[in-house]
Amino acid sequence: MARFAAGDQVVCQVRNRCIVSMYDSEYDEQRVFEIISVYDEGYFVYVPLDVDLRDTIYIDKSNYAKMNINKRFCDSDVYYITDFKVLSVYKQSDGLCCNRCGDFFYMSAPNQPDGTMVCWLCRAYPYR
């Protein structure tokens, strides 16, 4: 399952006008991007006008729907990333990470006495 959801903000490393892997130790800058769509095994992030990246995808009426992107992002640029390009989470809302396995669950709420959340899988299979 996807670790992130639309609306989450993640930190990525940019080098040579490309978003590079989190394992890449050489980068020009670290920057926060907002995920606007979960697609296939990865995510589309919004590219602000002042950010100059190569290999962006221009969103217009012909392609927003099939990329699962909200119509309000028409006429903007997006960039496709996968999990290994996410260096860290800047802001993650509308959900919690499971206190046991660490997976993110969209729209989940605390269900433990200490205010943390343990996902149904970990509750069903405590020794997984």
Give the binding site for Zn ion (CB under 5 A). 98, 100-101, 119, 122
- Cβ closest to Zn ion, residue 88 vs residue 116: 116
**Where are the strands (E) in 40-124, listed by range?**
42-47, 57-59, 76-82, 88-91, 95-97, 104-106
Minimum CB–partner distance for residue 103 and Zn ion (Å):
6
User: What are 60-67's contacts with CB under 8 Å, separation 24+?
Assistant: 67/37, 67/39
Supply the minimum distance, in Å, between the C-beta of residue 74 and Zn ion.
37
- Shortest approach of Zn ion to residue 119 CB, angstroms? 4
Helix (H, G, I), strand (E, B), or coil: what is residue 35? Answer: strand
